[in-house]
Amino acid sequence: MALKYNNDQHKEYIDMTTRIGQKWIDVFDGRTEFYDATFWDLLTKVWYSDTPVRKTDALKFMTGIKSAHTAGKYVEQALAEDLLAETVNPGDARSKLLTLSPRMRERLDKFFDGAISEVRKANYEINIKGPSPEDP
């Protein structure tokens, strides 16, 4: 199988993901327990939704977790750490709504800004380090 990119280009991708991973840890003030795909899924999907999400829907955001009970533990930890905020659903008093806490919203906005900068830098470096099959 012929590869589209060379080894130096592959390494640039790894370097970029490492830098972005560090930025993710920085979101949590260096607390590595949040360097976890489960928190990534939960927090980024709540961020992406732009509107409050039902708690039961948020449990399904964590694709690596099959148990609703286990997923609930992650949500409870996020609530306890002030990463998420919970309110009563005005449309259905039996359910709760989740949003990012204002602090987490601000931190994730900043994170995504930095992550996009890293993607753009990596794209530039990848183009320098070898041909790109997408170029005409």
Number of domains in the chain: 1
Q: Return the ∠ at Cα 38 (arms to 33 and 41), rounded to 5°.
A: 125
Instruction: Return contacts of 106-112, CB within 8 angstroms, 24+ apart.
Output: 107/27, 108/27, 108/43, 108/44, 108/47, 110/27, 111/23, 111/24, 111/26, 111/27
**CA 38 – CA 41 distance, rounded (Å):** 5
Asked whether residue 23 is assigned to any structural domain, the reply reads no
Tens-place pLDDT, residues 23-62: 999 999 999 999 999 999 999 999 999 999 999 999 999 9
CATH code for position 98? 1.10.10.10
Residue 13 placed within a domain: no
By CB atoms closer than 10 A (0-12, 13-18, 19+), residue 121 is middle
In a domain, 103, yes or no: yes
pTM above 0.85, yes or no: yes
Q: How far apart are CA 121 and CA 7, in angstroms?
A: 17
In a domain, 4, yes or no: no
> Domain span at residue 106?
36-128
Q: In terms of DSSP bridges, do strands 84-88 and 96-100 run parallel, antiparallel, or are they unpaired?
A: antiparallel
**pLDDT recorded at residue 48:** 98
Band (20; pLDDT cuts 50, 70, 90): very high
What's the token pair of residue 65?
Answer: 């977790």
76 within some domain: yes
| DSSP label at residue 53 | E
